[in-house]
Amino acid sequence: MILSPLKPIFHCLALSQPGPTKKRNEDALLLEGKVHQGSFRLEHKVRMIDGEPLVFAVADGVAGSPYAHIGSSLLLQLLDESFRKSPTAPANLRNRLLELQETYVERGRKMKCRGTAATLAGIVISGEQVQIFNVGDSRVYGIANGTMRQLSRDHTELADMIESGAIESIAAKDAPSSYLQPSSFFMADGMHSLGRVYTHTMTIDRTGAILICSDGLIDVLDDDEIAGVGVGKMASWLSLIGQARKRKGNDDITMMSVVRR
pLDDT digits (tens, 9 = 90+) for 49-74: 877 899 999 999 998 899 999 999 99
Higher pLDDT pick, 227 / 13: 13
pLDDT at 178 over 70: no
Give me the residues paired with residue 61 across strands.
118
Residue 170 is predicted with a pLDDT of 56
Q: Please report the beta strands in the chain, taking only residues with DSSP state E, as ranges in sequence order.
A: 9-17, 27-31, 34-36, 40-47, 54-61, 117-126, 129-135, 139-144, 147-150, 186-187, 198-203, 209-213, 253-260
Any idea what the Cα angle at residue 251 is, between residues 41 and 101, rounded to 5°? 85
Residue 261 is predicted with a pLDDT of 83
Whole-prediction pTM: 0.92
111-138 mean pLDDT: 95
Using CA atoms, how far apart are residues 259 and 46, in angstroms rounded to an integer? 10
Domain positions in the chain are: 9-260
Give the pLDDT band of residue 3 (cuts 50, 70, 90).
Answer: very low
Strands 54-61 and 27-31: antiparallel
Per-chain mean pLDDT for the chain: 89
Using CA atoms, how far apart are residues 42 and 104, in angstroms rounded to an integer? 27
Give the pLDDT band of residue 159 (cuts 50, 70, 90).
Answer: confident
Give the pLDDT band of residue 163 (cuts 50, 70, 90).
Answer: confident
Pick the CATH number of 9-260 from 3.40.50.920, 3.40.50.2300, 3.60.40.10, 3.30.750.24: 3.60.40.10
